[in-house]
Chain A
Amino acid sequence: MSEHLHKYLRTQAFPTPFCAGCGHGILMGAVLRAIDDLQLDFNKMVFVSGIGCGAWIPSPHFAADTLHTLHGRPIAYATGVKSFNPELKVVVISGDGDLAAIGGNHLIHAARRNVEMTVICANNSIYGMTGGQVSPTTPKNSKTMTTAKGNPEEPFDLCKLTVACGARYVSRYTVFHIKPLINSIKKALVTKGFSFIDVVSPCPTQFGRRNKQPTLYDMMNDLKNRSIRYETAKSTKKEDLIGKVVIGEFNE
């Protein structure tokens, strides 16, 4: 990572535990670049995460206060931190399984309650750490360790969900779209109220190799090809959007 960002890192915690080709390192860099651009006081930031690969982005790598919590519960913990000390800037970084499956209840209620925090979903569409089981954001028909014949279920659209719950700022980008992603994180961090970013991140180890995308190159190309801008998606037929990744800002 660039040297100017080292001050934000617990360098003794490196190398990261992430697999080769994992997108989470790119997301980690994007979060720190956004914070650096905004010149936020890192000592007044608290990074809360749950359990899973995405939860390891801030803990132990960020040299700030970090709260590595129970599976699915980071938003509930963050609610307590922020409510008691509103001067702290609270950021939740966790995975799709953590935030959307076991933690779904806390996600919708924090958005409804409009607790001022930024929730970043490191969405690799799979339970990576536990060995590659289907998650609530796994695309339909994808193969996982628990859907050998293809995922029969529809995935969650977490952006539509959080918009419906009242989130003040909602966006989705992939780690391929790094510049807009950093800009979006900056917007989220200065939002007065609840903000949510769904960051689609490749997992070649658990997802890609079971879905004919064994390398990071394959997965990045796939993300690039499947992405469609929110504005374009609005005038696209519903059936043409199947399998697409709608990127952009979701609040109108």
Chain B
Amino acid sequence: MQGNIACAEGALAAGCRYYAGYPITPSSEIMEHLSNRLPENNGIFIQMEDEIGSICSMIGASWAGAKAMTATSGPGFSLMLEGLGYAVMTETPCVIVNVQRAGPATGQATRPGQGDIMQARWGAHGDYRIIGLSPWSVQEMYDLTIESFNLAEEYRVPVILLADEVVGHLKESFVIKPEVEIFNRDNTITDKPFGTTADDGVPPMPIFGQGAKLLVTGSTHDEFGIRKVADPNVQDKLVNRLCRKIDNHKEKICKTESYLVDDADYLFISFGISARSSYAVIKQFRKEGIKAGLLRLKTIWPFTDDIIKRVANNCKVIFVPEMNRGQLVLEVQRALCNKQVVSIPKTQGEAIYPSEIYNEVKKYIK
């Protein structure tokens, strides 16, 4: 099965019952598949007039009680950023799939890229946090879509699945487990749907029609939802809780996988399809007797300094292969400021090949 279809099936397995989207290469298969599969499963599919309408209608559906999703690629994701900020501010659970292509602007519509990593984290205005996951296989297009919904529901935050054209269009077999773990939001009616006693808490989220008389607003609001657009303390409290509810739960949110890292002199830190090429490279180096290992970030945002510091502790050089001019490497360099961290970028609008990584890294291995 193709990665994009696996993503759509993962959404259904997670309980997604609302999809709004706009056609864009290379993500359209997700929408096409759900246009058939959602109505079969008592779900709603709607093709909106643009990506702004898509994300806004998804947020509306989420407040009406739906597990909701949209999928897009670079240009559409750019349009969705105002809605992303709104979802953060109103603590609306939702999933945005970005099947990344080569940019900027229209770029190369059918070619892969990983250039939206920083945009996903910082693209909307203001201070905020989101969760961003990165699948490296068709299996993970399925698994991490389910994980995206669970995290969105648990933390009341938009979750971005940062796929790319390669995993989106990759075809390989994968396993559908008969039972998957599902997290459903707490719909308890409360008079404080936007506040908790803890400064890093996630409040319950009543939905429309329950009689909760909800005041949902993208303007700064107190715990009751009442707009407080000039109160410095309310602004401070809200923005910090929105960030802390993610930051303070990094340990639970952040998922990584390590391959041959225990004795590694040379550590690769990568994500998505770039990590898959890196995996082939470390196996080659091992054959040659060179101690190379790979730390793969399944969760890109929030960024896990702790795990990276721990794994990289005894490594000599760290390499960060990625299909952009070097974005994630900036975070790795920040986290490992006392180490030699080398960027292995690729900006040719195609997958980064193991041979390319191998040849570049070879220069650093003595």
Q: Which A positions have Cβ atoms within 8 angstroms of B?
A: 10, 13, 43-44, 46, 48, 59-60, 63-70, 73, 76-85, 87-88, 105-106, 109
Q: Which residues of A contact B66 (CB under 8 A)?
A: 80, 84
Please name 8 pairs of A and B residues whose Cβ atoms are closer than 8 Å in the assembled complex, sorted by A.
A64-B213, A66-B216, A69-B86, A76-B53, A79-B48, A81-B63, A83-B57, A84-B60
Residues on B with C-beta less than 8 A from A63 are: 213
A44 proximity list for chain B (CB < 8 A): 209
Q: In residues 196-226 of chain B, which contact A (Cβ within 8 Å)?
A: 208-219, 225-226
Q: How far is the CA of A65 from the CA of B60 in the complex (A)?
A: 12
Is residue B83 contacting chain A, with contact meaning CB distance below 8 A?
yes
**Cα–Cα, bound, A43→B18 (Å):** 23
Find out whether the CB atom of B49 lies under 8 angstroms from the CB atom of A85: no
Indicate which residue in B46, B212, B217, B218 contacts A79 across the interface (CB closer than 8 Å).
B46
Give the residue among B44, B60, B210 with the most A Cβ atoms within 10 A. Answer: B60
Q: Sort chain B's interface into a size bin.
A: 35 or more
- Contact B18–A84 (Cβ < 8 Å): yes
**Is B208 within 8 A of A85, CB to CB?**
yes
Q: Contact check: which of B57, B68, B83, B213 meets A65 at CB < 8 Å?
A: B213
Interface centre among B53, B57, B65, B226 (most CB of A within 10 A): B57
- B50 interfacial by beta-carbon distance below 8 Å: yes
Q: Is the CB of A68 within 8 A of B53?
A: no
Given known contacts A67-B63, A77-B56, A84-B66, A43 and B217 CB-to-CB distance under 8 angstroms = no
Which residue of A59, A60, A66, A85 has the most chain B CB atoms within 10 A of its CB atom?
A85
Contact of A105 among B17, B46, B50, B58 (CB under 8 A): B50
A80 touches B215 (CB 8 A): no
Contact B209 A48 (CB under 8 A): no
Q: Which B residues touch A68, using CB under 8 A?
A: 215-219, 227
Which listed residue, B59, B212, B218, touches A80 by the CB 8 Å rule? B59
Give the Cβ gap from A15 to chain B, nearest Cβ, in Å. Answer: 15
- Partner of B214 from the list A13, A65, A106 (CB cut-off 8 Å) is A65
